[in-house]
Amino acid sequence: MHFGVDLGTTNSLIAVFRDGTPQLIPNALGQVLTPSVVALHQGRLVVGEAARAISLSQPAQAAGLFKRAMGTDRAYRLGQTDYNAPELSAMVLAALKADAEAHCGVPVSDVVISVPAYFNELQRKAVRAAGRIAGLNVTRLINEPTAAALAYGLHERDAEAKILVFDLGGGTFDVSVLDLFEGVIEVRASAGDAFLGGEDFTDALARYIATQSGLDANDPALRPALIKLAEQAKVGLSSDAQIHLQAELGGTPIDLHLTRERFDDITAPLLTRLAAPLDRALHDSGFTAQQIDKVVLVGGATRMAAVRAYAGRKLRQFPVIGLDPDQVVALGAAVQAALVARDAALDDVVMTDVSAFTLGCDTARQIGNTYREGYFQPIIERNSIIPTSREEMFSTIQLGQEVLRFRIFQGESPLAMNNLALGEIEVKVPRNMEHHESAIVRFTYDVSGLLEVDVTVQSTGKKASLVISKLAGEMSEADITAALKKMAALKQHPRDDAANIHLRTRIEAAYGMARAEARDWVANLLVQLDAAIDAQDPHTLTALRRDLHKALDEFEAHYVT
Ligand SMILES: Nc1ncnc2c1ncn2[C@@H]1O[C@H](COP(=O)(O)OP(=O)(O)OP(=O)(O)O)[C@@H](O)[C@H]1O
Ligand SMILES: [Mg+2]
């Protein structure tokens, strides 16, 4: 059995590859999508749907959307303790691991985790760290659109086609162009925007709703309910051309008619940001829009009518949704796990991927008879097939110079400082007053899109010990050890409690929204739940939970009609 994880901005999934095919694994609530939200409930950790419910009623007790802070040192406060994004991601991963172990009856250690193709070195390292903190051995990182293509390609094993994967998730946008032939899946190019996703559309709509209703969109007390309302409205507009919003937020009544056209106007600036990555991926792939045989939509946010229409217009064809857009990345990650483990069922499948960024270092260039520093010297160009290894020779600028120092960058700007600094490496060279000393810098990009650098001095053959300096947001060995301790100290709710906590939180939130006689009705739901928990009959409890959720769905539904 091989396991693959889609660690998403809004939802995460785990899938297993067995009997020659990938399958999704349900969580303790029986769902395959686990919201990427963690929360404290009575001082104990909960993850997923229950945590999402808590984030609405007690935002200070919950954290979400932390994938956006991967590779930064942003801290999220949960109760009395600060956690960084890898630590919070590790909590989600640990929950998925527990679900997989409960479902498959085996310990889960080796996993492949998907990352946005446009995730940089620091963000990738943060995902690796999260895996370790969760007690997992991350055998490989796979780019999300590549995972989607893998699931898709396996599904249509005999297809020969040029495919464009258009992946708009909750927080990230990725485009990959692939060539499928005779069991070979070749990624030709990837591009994207690591800060563009469905949540930005929700946010834009939330601001509009707030402005129209005379509310402050940034008011932390209103924000969770406002975002929830905007999310409901956004999803509603994916199936209906217009909706009617009726709600009360912090005592202010909201009564708005919203049409798709209005929504499209509000979100137009976001739509235009889809163009650049599409153009770049197409350009780098060497194909024209006309040559693309299929456009595959991935990610929940591609359910928006405007996004589909945009993809269709731009690529001059109707996009297809082959497999479930929410699930396809996790399925592909499991396929990749099977490929890494050389599962016999995949003997005839070959896949190659590319790096989405250019990697290089800073250099000085001669201008007249002086040298000016700060120019970017690419070593591995973007969209090179990975793994790959390239080298470049650099020389001292001055005679007698004793140290060669290289700063390593990732990005597409000719000026080093406009690219992302990944670290530095330094090497001592002999003091030479007659000739310039030189060194070979070798960059190796591995299959997970992670970089290794080494430097060899030509005259002495001496290699530089790899001292890529620690950057803000990067976790050292010591940080990871500390995080493991922190996690061990965190009390967990038993997996079986998740369903009850989720329902209880929903009831409590509904109580907060309701008034007068509706309040009594809601309070009574809580009494029913407590009675069923005390009675300890699992069948009655399961049936009751289902009924109560349904009742709450109906209760919430008249907020958006
Ligand atoms: N019916 C719908 N209409 C509009 N948007 C939707 C719909 N269903 C889901 N979404 C949006 O899709 C997004 C979540 O998609 P998905 O689960 O693919 O993202 P993710 O994998 O968590 O994020 P990422 O891949 O960016 O890390 C959310 O912003 C959600 O609001
Ligand atoms: Mg995703």
pLDDT tens, position by position, 34-88: 999 999 998 899 999 999 999 988 888 999 999 999 999 999 999 889 999 999 9
Say yes or no: CB of residue 301 within 6 Å of ligand 1.
yes
What is the chain's mean pLDDT, rounded?
Answer: 91
Distance 8 CA to ligand 1 centre (A): 9
pLDDT at 222 over 90: no
Distance 302 CA to ligand 1 centre (A): 8
Give the number of the atom of ligand 1 that is nearest the alpha carbon of residue 235: 3
Q: What is the pLDDT of residue 353?
A: 93
Say yes or no: CB of residue 145 within 6 Å of ligand 1.
no
Which ligand sits nearest to residue 170's alpha carbon? 1
Say yes or no: CB of residue 67 within 6 Å of ligand 1.
yes
Say yes or no: CB of residue 35 within 6 Å of ligand 1.
no
Say yes or no: CB of residue 235 within 6 Å of ligand 1.
yes
Q: For residues 417-437, give the mean pLDDT.
A: 91
3 state SS of 547: helix
Residue 351: name the closest of 191, 190, 137, 181 by CA.
181
Q: For residues 364-386, give the mean pLDDT.
A: 92
Say yes or no: CB of residue 304 within 6 Å of ligand 1.
yes
Residue 426: name the closest of 410, 446, 408, 450 by CA.
408
Contact 46, 36 (CB under 8 A): no
Q: For 248-307, how does the pLDDT look when each residue is reduced to its tens digit (9 = 90+)?
A: 887 888 999 999 999 999 999 999 999 999 999 999 999 999 999 999 999 999 999 999
Give the number of the atom of ligand 1 that is nearest the alpha carbon of residue 238: 3
Q: For 142-170, how does the pLDDT look when each residue is reduced to its tens digit (9 = 90+)?
A: 999 999 989 987 777 777 899 999 999 99
Say yes or no: CB of residue 172 within 6 Å of ligand 1.
yes
Q: What is the pLDDT of residue 436?
A: 92
Say yes or no: CB of residue 327 within 6 Å of ligand 1.
no
Structure tokens, 222? 């209103």
Q: What is the pLDDT of residue 494?
A: 80
pLDDT at 472 over 90: no
Q: Which of 5, 6, 9, 114 to mutate to test the pocket of ligand 1 (most atoms within 8 A of CB)?
A: 9
What separation in angstroms does the CA of 475 have from each of 84, 484, 486, 488? 10, 12, 14, 18
The alpha carbon of 492 is separated from its chain's Cα centroid by a whole number of angstroms, namely 24
pLDDT at 469 over 70: no
DSSP string, 86-129: HHHHHHHHHHHHHHHHHHHSS---EEEEEE-TT--HHHHHHHHH
Residue closest via CA to ligand 1's atom 20 equals 8
Residue closest via CA to ligand 1's atom 12 equals 300
Q: For 88-129, how does the pLDDT look when each residue is reduced to its tens digit (9 = 90+)?
A: 999 999 999 999 999 999 999 999 999 999 899 899 999 999
Q: What is the pLDDT of residue 489?
A: 87
Residue closest via CA to ligand 1's atom 2 equals 235
475 pLDDT band, cuts 50/70/90, is confident
Say yes or no: CB of residue 8 within 6 Å of ligand 1.
yes
Give the number of the atom of ligand 1 that is nearest the alpha carbon of residue 298: 18
Say yes or no: CB of residue 303 within 6 Å of ligand 1.
yes
Say yes or no: CB of residue 171 within 6 Å of ligand 1.
yes
Q: For residues 532-545, give the mean pLDDT.
A: 90
Residue closest via CA to ligand 1's atom 1 equals 235
Residue closest via CA to ligand 1's atom 9 equals 300
Q: What is the pLDDT of residue 560?
A: 53
466 pLDDT band, cuts 50/70/90, is low
Whether the bond between 387 and the residue before it is cis, its omega within 30 degrees of 0, is yes
Tell me what percent of the residues of the chain surpass a pLDDT of 70: 98
3 state SS of 435: coil
Give the number of the atom of ligand 1 that is nearest the alpha carbon of residue 67: 27
Assign 3-state DSSP to the chain and report helix, strand, coil percentages, each to 5.
40, 30, 30
Q: What is the pLDDT of residue 517?
A: 78
